Structure 1
Amino acid sequence: MELMTDQRFRKTIKYLRALFFLCFIIACLMVLFIIGVLIYAKVLGPPPLAVPQSTLYYDDNGTVIGESNNGQKRYWVNFDEISPHLIDATLAIEDRKYYEHNGFDYKRIAGAALADIKAMSKVQGASTISQQYARNLYLEHDKTWQRKLNEAFYTIRLEMNYTKEQILEGYLNTIYYGHGAYGAQAASQYYFGKDASQLTLAEAAMLAGIPKGPSIYSPLASIEKAKLRQGTILSAMQEINLIDEAAAQKAEQEKLKIVGKHPHTKLVTAPYFQDAVRQELSELLKLDERTIELGGLKVFTTLDLDQQKLAEETIAKQISDDSAIQVGFVAMNPKNGYVKALVGGRDYTESSYNRVTQAERQPGSTIKPLLYYAALEQGFTPASTMRSELTTFKFDDNRAEYTPHNFNNQYAEDDITMAQALALSDNVYAVKTHLFLGEETLVETAKRFGITSDMAKVPSLALGTSGVRVIEMANAYSLFANGGKKVKPVTIKKVENHKGEVIYEHDPKPQAVLRPDLAFVMTHMMTGMFDKKLNGYASVTGSTIINDMTRTYAGKSGSTNADSWMIGFSPQLVTAVWTGYDDGQTIELKLDQMYAKNVWVEFMEEALEGTPEKSFKAPKGTVGVYLDPVNGKLATKECPVRRYTYFAAGTEPTEYCTEHMLEHDKESSKGKKNKHPEEHEDGDHIPWYKKVLPWS
């Protein structure tokens, strides 16, 4: 009997020893597994915290003008930009031991499991904030073992690589609060119309209760249930000494104003401008479309809301509703290239095609200031004369003859100065100048002015027959307005990522690309289209809008059969307007031909109203003299019209006008220096253009 007992005892000891070793091995394997998981988690490093967030666009004063999103409102804010009341309320109801555990609340897990067993169903959750954040970031909300294991692994990675504050910040920025609002900032703005940093205790307690069931506890779904949930949270906060009883009662009795509206739901401000901004984001930062749309960027633009509104209203007022004519409009600050207003068409909902940045249209005579600037560099002056008459140009290389025509086939049938040729937009003078300089000169000059559109080296290029973009022409004229410094169109001043870090900031670097003296001489010549002193065989091209102007402008109009342009500037603002039909049909009505000028002058006058009237200041190296505008000679008191004109120092005329002197004065002046060059017989004083341009 004793033998049997001893054998049984030894057998039991043997089994117990085997069980012990088995448990020990299992425990060791579990420890090794856990160590392996931890090592693997550490090797993988921190998981990304980025989630889809709305990209916001701001004007130059920090006002939101647009938003891009996928239907989910998300605005990331830093931890210190969230009300402490919301942080405390969230911790009280969701995870009281958040700062004590390492991602898992084992006691809570055990309690939840026991409650589920007793109820024979899932009745109590035990997920910590870390677990919920991991699930919100990386996983679907399905209830499978694989998802739970993945959730645990991501929780470990989060806890190993981020601080508690970083995790809590991320959680509060991603949790769903109902009605499309993700994160505390979007929810605060939606429910209470304020930032998350401004929430009161009562508002925070109500907001913290919504994520448990947005369709149940949203105050817009049921204010009664929302108030009950708020009371539960205030009690929880009181239990762990986050607030006292008096504060809880006061918060529970506070009457809340529920807004129920997202702040940026119907923003349609400057849609063509916003498209241009997105394009610049892509080109500058090499961002893909998804990042631009859902990267949570804050894009600070150059847009002036007042000028944008003015531009849209002016276009709507000046162009009749029943007209099918289209428009491209852009206003820029010439000093830095900042685009202040942009309208790419009459109606964005009908056509998103941007006629400012995408369309290439013939600029017509608006190209002439670039041509004449090149001529100034080659020795021409505002007083240089050539004959204006119907001229056919013949070429030695078997090219077809070319005969440019002036508007209405009007010609001076005499010599005219460059200043008058520009003011009257004489085409013959322009083509003669173009051919004298060489057809490649204007092409290369246009590149210096920032024009990248292809240009054909043909005689008609002087009349703007190669297509360009409106934004390019506005930028080119900016070089005249700023004294010859290189600029480029800018729509973005600064970009921040979802963390508030600056990832791009425009850094203007002024670079002189034109001679300041010649840029000013050209600018002054461009004031001539508004100066009746330059009237000749026709009126100056700006005569129809002179009476609408209250300050000095420089500019140039232009037209082709299918395009109407007006580009002009003051020292502080450049505006370019194009009107025409998308299909290139002929502009036939007189009214349609006037749209560009009328839009331009009304916008410039109202945009600059209330600002100091700035004049174009002559730089060093320029000289101003009074000329007879017809012949370009120094004016005398007998000249009926005298116009003050600027020249590069040393190129100003030295010969006085004698055409208006009394007859006896003319007789006494014979043989003197100021005798007309064509009266000399030795040929030394034959006008320079007759030596090089036989057709003149």
Structure 2
Amino acid sequence: MSSDLQGDGGPDRPHAQTEGPAPGAAPTPPARRRRNSYRSLTSRLLSADAWVDTALWRAGRTIGEGMRSYDRFLRRFEVRGFSRAAAELGSDGATFGLLGLLVLLTFAQPAFEATRNADWMTTEDFAVTFLDRFGKEVGRRGIVLNDTVPLEEIPDVLVKATLATEDRRFFEHFGIDIFGTSRAMVENLRARTVVQGGSSLTQQLAKNLFLSNERTLERKVKEAFLALWLEANLSKRQILKLYLDRAYMGGGVFGVTAASEFYFRKNVRELSLAESAMLAGLYKAPTKYAPHINLPAARARANEVLTNMVQSGFMTEGQVIGARRNPAIAVDRSQDQAPDFFLDWAFDEVKKLSRRNPALARDRIVTVRTTLDPALQRQAEQSVDSVLTEFGQARRTREAALVAMVPDGSVRAMVGGRDYGKSQFNRAVDALRQPGSSFKPFVYITAFLNGYSLASVVPDAPVSIGNWSPRNYSRGYAGPITLKEALTRSINTVPVRLSIAVGRPAIIATAYKMGITHELQNTVSLPLGASDVSVIDMTASYAAFANGGLKATPYAILEVRNSAGQILYDRSRNEPEPERILPADKVGELNDILINAVENGTGRRAMVDGVAVAGKTGTTSAYRDAWFVGYTGNFVSAVWFGNDDFSPTDRVTGGTLPALAWQKLMAYAHAGIELTPMPGVDPARLKPAQVARTGDGTPAATQPRILSTRTAEVLGRIGRSLDALGQTASAGEGVAQP
């Protein structure tokens, strides 16, 4: 072959072959091709690995150099010994403190919900004058608003006494007095008891505005954050003014303005140093140091306040010596019988009414005519107190509660505890206790609504629901028994069998419809009264039996007038007619049984001469709660006896102390009035009226005839009209003044 045919890249130069085998050559085997591909991939992976290793090594070296440089830099600030320990502790403390702050802030979130209301400072603040159902003043509640007595007009000595006693560093701290709190902790540790409070004045205001008095860590956390929020949103003077208006001062009054009038019958602007010191001493424990309850203790506390004023530098010893030698003289209120528990509840009802009455929400200085019957209220208090005085210590029973109303729900008397001065907790409204067998009428009326009657026969025999097997109080069984006899004898197995037949949800629905407002637990023991209820709810529920099956919502307010005398609310005008919730014939059947339960069952001590009385006793396990809930055609009342700490009594049952107190009240209430027949009960069952007698057979005290609601309203309007005419006449020209 010629040389001109053998150029570069010709077929005779194998290194120049780029595609395919030479013509006529054998093809590359597949195994060889795979090996070549594997070697190529391996080579690439090794290259990548080498690059990554190199990069990591270089990055590590760079970071190491940086750390060494940073370490060399920090060595300039290195400390040793005690300084280093302090720095370490400070650093760790800051870290853990930040974490703790985040946790506390999480806990405090619910408290800030109350601050979302743009009108949170005045939302429920009222100055209310309460009248009884006949138009006579019986008490006052509420807080006079800020513009009534400006801070500038409150005596300087009262402001100084407040700051010296409650928060000397008020104008220096940011809402939480760290130094004051620390000092209080030290003093409390030394005394091994609480001798000093650590809360600043702002924290106390936060509690008064948004929180309750419960002593828990959660509340203290909320209180601290709300204090900071108040300091951020209000000036110091605004906070001080709100505190002076909101603090509870004992005797059912709030704020220094109301307290000045209550304790000294003085305008707050006229208070002396001694009187100011006595008022400032009330912040710590208003019920303990209230001068109308314990004047020596109030004066001793006022003397401590004067000492605080000297120690804080607000006054000298020479300036306070006169107040020490001539202590304040408080108004004698030993004869006052203010219905404080009723007024507290009525005040809450005014607040609720304002939420659905725009006119009342705007005008917050009002006069409220209530449903209270002062004579019946006094007798209710005396009935409870006399029974506790006679039997309380021996039967290990310290407290009681009572609500009395007419069958339409109008509350005539309320006893929320034995001594309002010692405890303002209203056991008639706010306490939840098990009703025991007094709950059984809810079961029976539900059975009547589902086809049963008082003559229906149900076996009194052992019954079990799962592992629960209720027993009768007598530990025996009567066999087949009518519902009338079963409820009269307060048999336990029968209502349980009825609950199985009609269903517990139906019983719960009936109880809610009749007036129970708190949640009832759907448990097997529900028919025996194992779910908590309140005294006022039980009274209202039984009122449906007394009025023939109508809804009886408890109410305290008949009429509300503003400061100009204009009517803002009239119950007869603004409220609808009561709703029928139970058939009259079924109510009549139950009334027949409950009259029998009093006359021939466990409620015999509640009988009143000449009056048909229906009712049911209730006693819970270990004798912790004892009830009697009863009614006539004129009145309905529930009475509870027990202890606040749920400790057992000495075998007090509903047929003993509660029935006795109920009888004392109702014998008085029915003396000299026209008896109203009980719905569904044969009028022939009503005996001729006799002289009412107490449980021991002696004649009961009588009261003037209780006027009907309509008559009382007419007389009230006549009286107000005469007052208005007298005021007009005295204001006219040329009228001779007496």
TM-score by length of 1: 0.50
Which is richer in helix?
Answer: 2
